Amino acid sequence: MCGLIGIIGTANVNQDIYDALTVLQHRGQDAAGIMTFAGGNFHQRKSEGLVRDVFRQLHMQRLQGRLGIGHVRYPTAGSAGAALAQPFYVNSPYGICLAHNGNLTNSDALTRELFQTDLRHLNTDSDSELLLNVFAHELQNLGKLRPNEEDVFSAVRSLHRRCQGGYAAVAMISGYGVVGFRDPHGIRPLVVGRRQADSGFEYMLASESIALDVLGFTLLRDVAAGEAVYITASGQIHFRQCAENPRTTPCIFEHVYFARPDSIIDGISVYKTRLRQGEKLARKVLAERPRHDIDVIIPIPDTSRIAAHAMANVMGVKFCEGLMKNRYIGRTFIMPGQSQRKKSVRQKLNTVPLEFNGKNVMLVDDSIVRGTTSRQIIEMAREAGARKVYFASAAPPVRFPNVYGIDMPSAQELIAHGREVEEVRELIGADWLIYQDLQDLIDSCSEGNPEITEYDCSVFTGEYVTRDVDQNYLARVDALRNDVSLSSRLATHQEGNVVGLHNEAP
């Protein structure tokens, strides 16, 4: 999962891109990058770290131009390190840079094609570089000295035919404009907005609408599944459907966990969706235990707070903030290595004993993935004096890996994989465990936009909407994502950084 920004402005866009990336920081904390275009040249700064750490005043002064794209990276499969920071760049044709959110499911075949048929070299194992080279090759095949919007859309159309998986991307063609596109299933989000400036309109592409809001852009609409939008350097905007059979099935986990609640995705308020998740989960609790003995409902910060508050309102139970969060610790389920995740939970959260002591507590989380966090928080609740600890998940059991850009671990490391609810309850140490029903989760989203009736729910069902994911593919994913592999790559990456310090200029 990553965050994307693309802006066509009437003045330098470097500060706007920086500000927008900080708003999308929740979508990726591994690396950040900005590339702008001015004076016939690209200007770039990218590195590992948070946005505030990657960009200094000197970097911002060099990032001149009215056109620019930005990216915050969240690593999935493949390597880690500065070489994987985006945007990526190719010099032919025209000079193109690209930033990508998602994951291609046919990357092995594309890698072979690009080398053997397209005669293109890849410098990393990132599927974002694959996507860029496919787009560049298809645009170059048109043989045009000066591409127009029809050429750009033709290249995206060919890209859709070659690339499979979940992807949203923004690309900048030197001197010509910025293009954004979304996969034919609309799995990964992308929105477009407009702002009035003194000398005309400015346009912005972003992963979430909140990035538009904070910079004063008005949300025009979502880029549709399979659609591309091309904004020329002169400020002309063009839309075109580029997929042969688009079918909107967005990732439902955006509404469970990833997206900010103040965003609107595919016309659906994430905030309202999480409210409905809590209301429906509360009704399930009341149906299963109408004479429950819950004294207090406590959210596990931050993403479950809205659902927990809605649960408390429906059930007529006290809601309180019994867990305090250290906001300088990253999201734990994306950290490589089980030992690192275990350590971070205690650093990340602390209890308010007065809200636990002698009470029957219902803890609410957005989901349960490995169970590491859940188990430790339940232990913390008991240490704080809770008499009983119940646990509610606003999402159904996560039993299968995500292959479209969320770094869900290998199936064997998912606590609910191959287990019944009672078995999971015992493993995390809760006195009672209740999960959201899948249909209730789908309804929570669909009530916000009845036109969208299908979602990618593969982490719950094992049914992948692109229909190209088989056991062989999942086995390769498992080999890349299990903790042993992640720890090995992390150690190699850290060793490489130590060596690299002797060779890099400050």
Residues labelled catalytic: 2
**332, two tokens:** 């734990």
298, two tokens: 């406590």
Tokens of 235: 């400020």
CA dist 281 and 287 (Å) reads 10
CA nearest to 403, candidates 459, 484, 321, 344: 459
**Residue 187 tokens, joined:** 């799995």
In angstroms, the CA 454 to CA 186 distance is 11
Structure-token match 């690309």, residue found:
171
The two structure tokens encoding residue 239:
């839309």
Residue position matching structure tokens 């702002």 = 195
Phi, psi (5° rounding) for residue 208? -135, 150
> How far, in Å, are 1, 184, 446 from residue 159 at the CA level?
21, 11, 30
Separation CA 112–CA 483 (nearest Å):
28
Using a 10 angstrom Cβ sphere, with 0-12 exposed, 13-18 middle and 19 or more buried, the burial of residue 25 is: middle
